[in-house]
Amino acid sequence: MGPAFHVFLSRLTSSLALWTICWATMNWAYEPGFWFLLGVLILRGLWEFYQMLTAAGLPHFKRTGMFLGTSLCLGSLAFARQWGCDLAVQFESAAFALSILWVFVRQIARKSAEPLPVATIAYTLLGLAYIPFLATFTAKLIYLTPRTGDGTLTGHYYLLFLAVVTKFSDCGAYITGSLIGKHPMIPHISPKKTWEGFAGALALSTVGSLGLLKLFPTQLALITPTHGVLLGLGFSIVAVLGDLAESVVKRSTGIKDSGHFLPGIGGAMDLIDSLLFTGPILYVYLRITLGT
C-alpha cells in the first residue's frame, strides 16, 4: 500500500465524515446547523485565501477582510431568513460597496508608506468577492422557497442538489482522471486535469442530478428532468472552471494546498472552490424558474 492508497483512504474518510454531517443536517432541516456549516466553510476558505497571500508575501488587510467577510456572510443569511432573498441581495450589494469604501479608508489611514498601496486594496477585495460574496448565492438557497406550515425549511433540498451534483462532478473528474487520464486539459495551470477526467465529470454529475430528481421529485419540483440534465452538464463545466480558478490562485502564490482542514482533501477552499461557481448558477436558474 503506497502513498497514493493512503491519500485515497484519507480522502474517503474525510468525505464520508463530511457527508454524514451534511446529510444529518439536511435530514433534520436543522437551521442552526446550516448556518454553522456554511459559516465555517466560507470563513475558513477566506482565511485560507489570505494565508496564501501572506505566504507569498502579497500585501492585504487580513483582519479587515475577515471582519468584512464575516459581516457579509452572516448578514446575508440574517436578511434572507428575516426578510427574504430580495432584501438579502440588496444587503449584499450595499455591504460590498461599503467594504470597498472601508478598505480604501483603511489604506488611507495607514501610517506606513508602501510602494503599491493599490495592490493591498485589490488583494483584500478580491478575497471578499471571490469567496464570501459568491458563497452568499449558495447560502440563500435554503431560504429561496417557502417554509412548510410548521416552519420547516424546504430550500435545503436545493442546497443538497447543488452539493451532490457539484461533488459528483469533482468525483467523476478525480476517479476517471486517475484511472485513464492521459490528455491534459490546461497543463500550464493544472497539470493533473485531463480531458478524460472532464468526461467523467460530465457523466457522473448528470447521473447525480437525475438520481436526486428521482429520489426527491416533490422537494425538487422546480427542476424538470430536462433541466436536470442541463444543470448536471452545466455544473460539471462550471465546477471545472471553479477548480481551475483556485489553481490559478495557488500557482500565483506558490502554494500546493490551501490548507489541511480535511485530511486527504486539503483546505476549505479545496472543498468549496467549485461550489463558489455553481452556486450562483443554480440560484439564478431557480429565480428564473420561480418567475421572480
Domain ranges of the chain: 3-290
199 DSSP assignment: H
Structure confidence at residue 151 (pLDDT)? 83
pLDDT given at position 217 = 93
17: pLDDT strictly greater than 70: no
Is residue 3 scored above 60 in pLDDT?
Answer: no
Query: CA–CA distance from 37 to each of 26, 230, 254 (Å)?
Result: 11, 28, 29
pLDDT tens per residue across span 86-135: 999 999 999 999 999 999 999 998 877 677 789 999 999 999 999 999 99
Give the DSSP letter string of 127-175. HHIIIIIHHHHHHHGGGSS---TTS---THHHHHHHHHHHHHHHHHHHH
Tell me: the pLDDT tens digits for 140-158?
A: 999 999 888 888 888 889 9
Q: How high is the pLDDT of residue 5?
A: 47
| 76 or 172, which is more confident | 76
